Structure 1
């Protein structure tokens, strides 16, 4: 018992320490483009922001690599940051895509990466369509046919029970 407790405590401590070491701290990225969330599912909304375009700077965003087209980054309520959004197209394929922004003032080109995944944490993908297993599906979803099948099974069960009861009494078949 003590060995198990020690093992669990050590594992929990290792997980907590790893989480602290690998957890990124937010400190405004002044030289690039922040993409949030950095991993998105097709159909999701992505927010892009930067502090590299100056206090009242705007920028032209380009997400054509993922198929989302262009978007605008405008000054936000956060001092010195420009922010914009785009939607990942439902037809986007999984992979890593470069998102680009060009500041309106100057010739500054900023980049950030977006990873498109089938599903992100917390999202659930619902299955669609049928599975071709070769089993079942002969009657289809018709309620009348389903009721007839259930009735046939009930009659077979009742008949089997009656035959077993007669045999147990010695009446024969």
Structure 2
């Protein structure tokens, strides 16, 4: 038993080592699909780039997982980049989650993928609170200008009446 265990172990290690160093069947370039921005809100636009298609730089993109359908990837406008570039709009009805975006190179048929994260809030812009604080006391200026004007008029009448009463009392006329 001991004699057969060593050759089988050596053979298993050789197969495992060969599996770890194996080169992909399509060649040496292992670049994938880059989705920018990686996190998008529903209704936002995403840009997809990839250098995986070689010199032809054209591909057919598929964002059907998020509901955006197919899009075309054409050579990038930047000289010497060697990238295919495409854009698609995430539908407003898209639910939050991670979606796989796929592109298939036109000539080689190579399939590359990338991930798109749909969130409810944008990661790029700061969200500031808005509205009034609900304290029960009320605000200095309400949303209704008529009520604000009536409040100011009531305060003016009260101040004028109080001043008149104090002046009369100081003169000795009584109330």
Structure 1 position 104, deviation (Å): 1.6
Structure 1 position 66, deviation (Å): 2.2
| Unaligned residue ranges in structure 1 (runs of 5+) | 1-28
Alignment TM-score, normalising by the size of structure 2:
0.60
Structure 1 position 161, deviation (Å): 6.3
> Which 4+ residue blocks in structure 1 deviate beyond 6 angstroms?
none
Q: Aligned with 2:117: secondary structure? A: strand
Please say which structure displays the higher CA radius of gyration.
2
Structure 1 position 85, deviation (Å): 1.0
Alignment TM-score, normalising by the size of structure 1:
0.60
In structure 1, the partner of 2:101 is 99
- Structure 1 residues 69 and 160: CA distance shift in structure 2, 3 A: farther
Tell me how far apart the structure 2 counterparts of residues 39 and 134 of structure 1 sit (CA, whole Å). 36
In structure 2, the partner of 1:90 is 92
Tell me how far apart the structure 1 counterparts of residues 159 and 92 of structure 2 sit (CA, whole Å). 51
Tell me how far apart the structure 2 counterparts of residues 104 and 63 of structure 1 sit (CA, whole Å). 17
Contact 1:30 1:50 in 2 (8 A): no
Tell me how far apart the structure 1 counterparts of residues 112 and 64 of structure 2 sit (CA, whole Å). 15
Contact 2:63 2:70 in 1 (8 A): yes
Tell me how far apart the structure 2 counterparts of residues 93 and 159 of structure 1 sit (CA, whole Å). 63
Contact 1:44 1:88 in 2 (8 A): yes
Contact 1:30 1:51 in 2 (8 A): no
Contact 1:98 1:114 in 2 (8 A): yes
| Unaligned residue ranges in structure 2 (runs of 5+) | 1-28
Contact 2:39 2:122 in 1 (8 A): no
In structure 1, the partner of 2:118 is 116
Structure 1 position 99, deviation (Å): 1.1
